[in-house]
Amino acid sequence: MNREVTYAAAINDAMHVAMHLDDSVICYGLGVTDPLGVFGTTLGLEQTFGSARVFDVPTSENALLGVAVGASLNGLKPVVTHQRLDFFLLALDQLVNSAAKWHYMFGGSTSVPITIRLVVGRGWGQGPTHSQNLHAWFSHIPGLKVVMPTTPADAKGLLLSSIFDPNPVVFIEHRWLHNSVGLVEQGDTRIPLGKASVARNGNDVTIVSFSYLTVEALKAADFLSNEKIECEIIDLRTLSPLDWLTIYDSVSRTRRLLVLDSGFTTGSLAGEVVARVAMSHYGRLECAPARLAMPDVPEPTSFGLTRGFYVRAGNIAAEVFKMFGMEPEYALRSLPEPHPHDVPDEWFKGPF
Amino acid sequence: MVHSISTQEKFDLLCQMQRIRLVEEGIASRYHEGKMRCPTHLSIGQEAVAVAVGAVINSRDFAVSTHRAHAHYLAKGGNLPAMVAEIYGKATGCSRGKGGSMHLIDTSVGFMGTSAIVGNSIPIGVGLALSVQIRGSNQVSCIFLGDGAIEEGAFYECVNFACVRKLPVVFICENNLYSVYSPLSVRQPEGRSIAKMVEAIGAQSFQGDGNNVLKARLITAEAVDNARNGSGPQFIEFMTYRWREHCGPEFDNDLGYRTVEEFELWRERDPIALLQTELAGSIRDFELKWERANEVLKDEILEAFEFAENSPFPPAEEAFTGDFAVHGLEASP
């Protein structure tokens, strides 16, 4: 049965389903049992599954990730939660040197079935250290899977698959998606990792996107459709391993590629997609591939400083216009930055 | 629990230490051949702690260790030929050649891995202890670490968490006074006891002579009993000394980072010679038994090296496999 639920509720649903299906699933992280339950995503878990399996922890990011690795070596499936990705940077040793390596460097003797839930922020003054989209770092590390879903149904299905995957999975939730709604089926609705979805069909240009930027891409595509440009939007969902075939198939038809990325421009995942497509499909492209990512500066805090700072529908439409030799200013004027520009919608009143 | 040690048990401890010593001397004497092509850290001089712990815990208990782990792996019951083959990078190695000397594992005896990164395996060991607590099994998790790891943030995070959750974990710190060439004096405050500091965090703590295997065994037995009986995390600081260079087969007293006098003082306290002297006076026909035991050990070790030398390298394509575990194929714990 389908129900319309929020992205946060879909994640909460996935956690309940996973913990009900398998008593080796445990869940911990700062605040998972507090009254707010990590934006509602962990509510009810402790009450339903008990404090042995669901518990709050000390503020020790590195140790607590290694603890997850160790627990997984004895057959548990830990889900570790962080309310911002930026705090998780303290755990990079355990992520890169332990979680990503334990299976490979011991010749397959063990596996590390852990899931790391990270939330990334944007706007409302999240600033330099509450807004970093560092999925490209994680995607760079062999042995890690990286998931960044856009819709509530994908969030649920991919979180379930992440939890039951025998490998470490970095599962990244964009804060601006937590209140978005969509139809979600009940029960065990696993969606395979490593498969992109086509969020919109079109034959004129391929827009590769993921997470919140897919929302902006869909807005841009509506506008572009009125201008007789039909976008194919590929929502990657999983960044590593990446579904190259779906991208190649689409670009082969549309012959134009724009890649969106909520991370910094240099070294971005978008850069990797552009590079691979340019290398393998150079002759088929009508024009140079393009990318839109965050500028190579830390995200500032001030409302004033973040005006025009983010990639949004207008920028996307303008970039597509350039590919067709059309006037980008018209797209920017037609899709102006919303006011206020630093919230996803009225539901978000801060503080984080 | 009373832990009396029979003479036979003492002789076994001696043989265990000698086994590790001979394996590592075998590595040292062959290293220059260039067939063991990986960073290799020998524990020669530090065998007693590993053997004491190995004698107290059982094969269902967990252990994790560091870059200097040959002794811990062997004392825990890890497969010897698989370890030597791993150092040779062979397909028959315990990590199929993907890990080398610093990444040893034998899950069949609860030896769950070792890490090249200082302090890195401490949280892993604590996680194993957490899994034991959640599962309600009667195991303990032993974490081998060095004095350098005491300076890592992960150590404090882990002791704190283990205390909060009262986890069945035993931290076994081998204090050999040096982190590579850096002495304790530039790394930790003068006069501060590591054991007392850890006690202050909340773990029951011990300090002992890491070159006296009998005393080390007694302390370890008490700590392991405590951990197993629900008394929460235990910490032991064992004073000991590495004889050879930090990494590699040679002696390095010529470098001058430590004095020859200090080295000689510790070598006089060779854990093997100490127990050998003690047992020579209490076991009938000791010399004969000791000689026979050594012959058996030498044969076993020679066979392990031959096994490693004769084993094939993994096919080069294997470098590109095994980055991800596959559903249904993952090893069961």
pLDDT at B331 over 70: no
pLDDT attached to residue B333? 39
Interface of B with A in 61-120 (CB under 8 A): 62, 64, 93-99, 103, 105, 107, 112-113, 115-117, 120
pLDDT category of residue A347 using cuts at 50, 70 and 90: confident
Q: Which residues of A touch B97 (CB under 8 A)?
A: 107
Mutate to test the interface with A, among B64, B323, B329 (most CBs of A within 10 A): B323
Where along chain B do its domains lie?
Answer: 7-305
pLDDT attached to residue A346? 81
pLDDT attached to residue A349? 81
Are A199 and A218 within 8 A, CB to CB? yes
pLDDT at A291 over 80: yes
Nearest CA in chain A to B104: A106
B249 cis-preceded (ω within 30 degrees of 0)? no
The minimal CB distance from B331 to the residues A53, A65, A109 is found for A109
Structure tokens that stand for A262 in this block: 């909520």
More confident residue, A344 or A104: A104
**From start to end of chain B, where are the E strands?**
62-65, 111-114, 141-146, 169-175, 178-179, 182-183, 204-209, 234-239
**Closest residue by Cα to residue B100 from A105, A318, A41, A32:** A105
Percent of chain A with pLDDT over 70: 100
Out of A82, A103, A130, A178, the active site residue is: A130
Nearest CA in chain B to A99: B124
HSE-up (13 A, CA, CB side) for residue A158: 30
Q: Does B129 touch chain A (CB under 8 A)?
A: yes
Nearest Cα of chain B lies from the Cα of A80 at a distance, in angstroms, of 12
The answer to whether the Cβ–Cβ distance between B127 and A73 falls below 8 Å is yes
Q: Which residues of B touch A64 (CB under 8 A)?
A: 123, 157, 161
Q: Rounded CA gap, B140 and B167, in Å? A: 9
Q: Rounded CA gap, B19 and B179, in Å? A: 26
Select from 3.40.50.20, 2.60.40.10, 3.30.1370.100, 3.40.50.970 the CATH code of A6-185.
3.40.50.970
Q: What is the pLDDT of residues B121-147, one digit of tens each?
A: 999 999 999 999 999 999 999 999 999
3-class DSSP state of A104:
helix
Nearest CA in chain A to B134: A52
- The reply to whether A178 belongs to the active site is no
Q: How far is CA B332 from CA A19, A21, A108, in A?
A: 20, 19, 11
pLDDT attached to residue A258? 98
Common-topology check for domains A6-185 and A197-334: yes
Are A41 and A127 within 8 A, CB to CB? no
Where along chain A do its domains lie?
Answer: 6-185, 197-334
Q: Does A77 touch chain B (CB under 8 A)?
A: no
In residues, how long is chain A? Answer: 352
Nearest CA in chain B to A94: B120
Structure tokens that stand for B27 in this block: 């590595």
* Tokens 């002495």, located at residue: B183
Q: What are phi and psi of B244, to 5 degrees?
A: -95, -175
pLDDT category of residue B3 using cuts at 50, 70 and 90: low
Q: Rounded CA gap, A216 and A316, in Å? A: 8
- A119: which strand partners? A173
Please report the DSSP string for A56-82 in residue order: ---S-HHHHHHHHHHHHHTT-EEEEEE
Nearest CA in chain B to A107: B95
Counting one residue from chain A and one from chain B, the pairs whose CB atoms sit within 8 A come to 161
Count helices and strands in chain A by DSSP H and E runs: 14, 14
pLDDT at B23 over 70: yes
Nearest CA in chain A to B120: A94
User: What is the pairing mode between strands B178-179 and B62-65?
Assistant: unpaired
**Closest residue by Cα to residue B86 from B106, B71, B72, B101:** B101
Whole-number average pLDDT of chain B:
96
* Burial group, residue A263, by CB count within 10 angstroms (0-12, 13-18, 19+): buried
pLDDT at B332 over 70: no
User: Which CATH class name applies to B7-305?
Assistant: alpha beta
The answer to whether the Cβ–Cβ distance between A74 and B131 falls below 8 Å is yes
The answer to whether the Cβ–Cβ distance between A68 and B127 falls below 8 Å is yes
pLDDT at B330 over 60: no
pLDDT attached to residue A2? 85
Nearest Cα of chain B lies from the Cα of A255 at a distance, in angstroms, of 32
Q: What is the pLDDT of residues A219-276, one digit of tens each?
A: 999 999 999 999 999 999 999 999 999 999 999 999 999 999 999 999 999 999 999 9
The answer to whether the Cβ–Cβ distance between B120 and A60 falls below 8 Å is no
Q: What is the pLDDT of residues B213-244, one digit of tens each?
A: 999 999 999 999 999 999 999 999 999 999 99
Q: Rounded CA gap, B58 and B224, in Å? A: 11
Alpha helices in B229-285 (DSSP H): 260-267, 271-280
Residue A351: other Cβ atoms inside 10 A: 7
Q: What is the pLDDT of residues A46-104, one digit of tens each?
A: 999 999 999 999 999 999 999 999 999 999 999 999 999 999 999 999 999 999 999 99
pLDDT (mean) for A279-284 = 97
Q: Does B324 touch chain A (CB under 8 A)?
A: yes
A197-334 classified as CATH 3.40.50.920: yes
3-class DSSP state of B250:
coil
Q: Which residues of A touch B125 (CB under 8 A)?
A: 70
Task: Return the DSSP state at B191.
Answer: T
Nearest Cα of chain B lies from the Cα of A73 at a distance, in angstroms, of 7
- The reply to whether A82 belongs to the active site is no
Q: Does A329 touch chain B (CB under 8 A)?
A: no
Interface of B with A in 24-63 (CB under 8 A): 62
Please give the helix or strand (H or E) that residue A262 lies within, else none. strand A257-264
* Burial group, residue B135, by CB count within 10 angstroms (0-12, 13-18, 19+): middle
Nearest Cα of chain B lies from the Cα of A179 at a distance, in angstroms, of 33
Residues B36-66: b if buried by 16+ CB within 10 A, e if exposed = beeebbbbbbbbbbbbbbbbbbeeebbbbbb
Q: Rounded CA gap, A269 and A211, in Å? A: 13
Nearest Cα of chain A lies from the Cα of B330 at a distance, in angstroms, of 6
Q: How far is CA A73 from CA A97, A102, B105, B106, B145, in A?
A: 15, 9, 12, 12, 19
The minimal CB distance from A71 to the residues B94, B121, B128 is found for B128
pLDDT attached to residue B328? 58
Q: What is the pLDDT of residues B190-218, one digit of tens each?
A: 999 999 999 999 999 999 999 999 999 99
Whole-number average pLDDT of chain A:
97
The answer to whether the Cβ–Cβ distance between B330 and A111 falls below 8 Å is yes
Are B106 and B57 within 8 A, CB to CB? no
Mutate to test the interface with A, among B157, B169, B311 (most CBs of A within 10 A): B157
Are A112 and B323 within 8 A, CB to CB? no
Nearest CA in chain B to A75: B333
Nearest Cα of chain B lies from the Cα of A197 at a distance, in angstroms, of 23
Q: Which residues of A touch B94 (CB under 8 A)?
A: 106-107, 109
Query: Dmax of chain A from CA atoms?
Result: 61
Mutate to test the interface with B, among A23, A72, A73 (most CBs of B within 10 A): A73
The minimal CB distance from A166 to the residues B107, B322, B327 is found for B327
pLDDT at B4 over 90: no
Percent of chain A with pLDDT over 90: 97
